[in-house]
Amino acid sequence: MSWENNIRKVVPYVPGEQPRERNVIKLNTNENPYPPSNAIKTALAATDIGSLRLYPDPAAGDLVEAVADVYGLKKSEVFVGVGSDDVLAMLFMTCFHSGKPILFPDITYSFYDVWADLMEIPYEKQPLDENFCIRAEDYLKPNGGIVFANPNAPTGEFLALSEIEKIVAGNPDSVVICDEAYIDFGGESALPLIHKYDNLVIAQTFSKSRSLAGLRIGFAMANEKLIKYLNDVKYSFNSYTMNRTVISIGAAAVRDTGYFKNCCKRIMETRERAEEEFRNLGFRFRKSSANFIFVSHPKVPAEEIFRYLKEHKIYVRWFNKPRISNYLRVTVGTDAEMANLFACLRTIPGIAEESGEA
């Protein structure tokens, strides 16, 4: 016997690789290829270093206010955290406390089952249909809560708001978390539904559409009662998750909506062109509503393509998991990065033949 018997043992979430090597084309973790808003530079320059001796505002009020202003909400309807991973973990801890199994898709963000295991929350995965779509009916059964990503990851599939409303309206006794990490790339946010349903919470992040994965800011939007419960749990865990610098530069960044919208537009345009290229090379995929495309090739196994690209310093994501092991998730980069990707793919024999260029 030893102290090890008393340890909490978990299988951690494994994020996509962050290669240390330079000059790689990084299309594996859905980061934004464009730099963040210039408003950050101004806000950083105005930072009073002396103020860092003081604890930050535990409510991160300036950042909460900026998000509330941009999304037309009251401050009491917004919660912020250290990336949406922190926000989602707090939501799991706060909202999934019934002891009944929570429901989420079998193919989705792979952090959901990690948090559930960590917090000893029982769960039942609901299989996506053959097109990798969520079936709303699967979520109309007794449960202790529901979480899904829309658009879903790693599929890029968008679920219509009418289907989301069915799930939310059919579960008045459960909190439904809609993880909208990729909503700014062409989807339609379920945000307006929070005023109609008090059991719906929307989680979003600055990491993808606002080019700030390195800063770590995420937020949740819901009715003020739910946000209050969420803050109570947060203050019972760590009052000072957001530091002073992040609060002030994050607030400046989110207010620059023009720059943000333009970046999203450029990424969506590149995505359209990339879909055309993938089609020409014989890849199979469904229309993406995110900043990545989930592709598979009828002739060349995904694992082979993944390794070949990696040898050529192009990183994409391959998940060695049931149902999706023959797919690759390719982040939409700049036009130049995508051109490099397609040039490299054309040198793979089975793919070159498919494109008629062998």
Ligand X SMILES: *Cc1c(COP(=O)(O)O)cnc(C)c1O
Report the interface residues with ligand X, using CB under 6 A.
Answer: 83-85, 109, 149, 153, 179, 181, 205, 207, 213, 218
- Report in angstroms how near the CB of residue 267 gets to ligand X at its nearest: 15
d(CA 259, CA 267): 13
Beta strands per DSSP E along the chain: 25-26, 78-81, 102-105, 123-126, 146-149, 176-179, 200-205, 218-221, 292-295, 314-315, 317-318, 328-331
CA 259 from chain centre, in angstroms, equals: 20
Q: How far apart are CA 133 and CA 88, in angstroms?
A: 22
Sheet holding 292-295, edge to edge: 292-295, 328-331, 317-318
For residue 112, the minimal CB distance to ligand X (Å) is: 9
Farthest CA pair distance, the chain: 65
Q: Which is nearer to ligand X, 212 or 348 (CB)?
A: 212
Which position's Cβ is nearest ligand X?
A: 83
Nearer to ligand X, 285 or 292 (CB): 292
Q: Which residue has the tokens 């720059």?
A: 259
Write down the least CB distance from residue 292 to ligand X, Å: 9
Which of residues 230 and 351 has its CB atom nearest to ligand X in the complex?
230
Closer Cβ to ligand X, 146 or 345, answer by number: 146
Nearest approach in angstroms of CB 205 to ligand X is: 3
Please, what is the minimum distance in Å from the beta carbon of residue 182 to ligand X? 7
Smallest distance from ligand X to CB 51, Å: 26
Specify the residue for token string 């009916």.
137
Interacting residues of 233 by C-beta distance below 8 A, sequence separation 6+: 90, 93, 94
Between residues 144 and 154, which has the closer beta carbon with respect to ligand X? 154
Residue with tokens 């439904």: 176
Residue 249 is encoded by which pair of tokens?
């530069």
When the beta carbons of 207 and 288 are compared against ligand X, the nearer one is 207
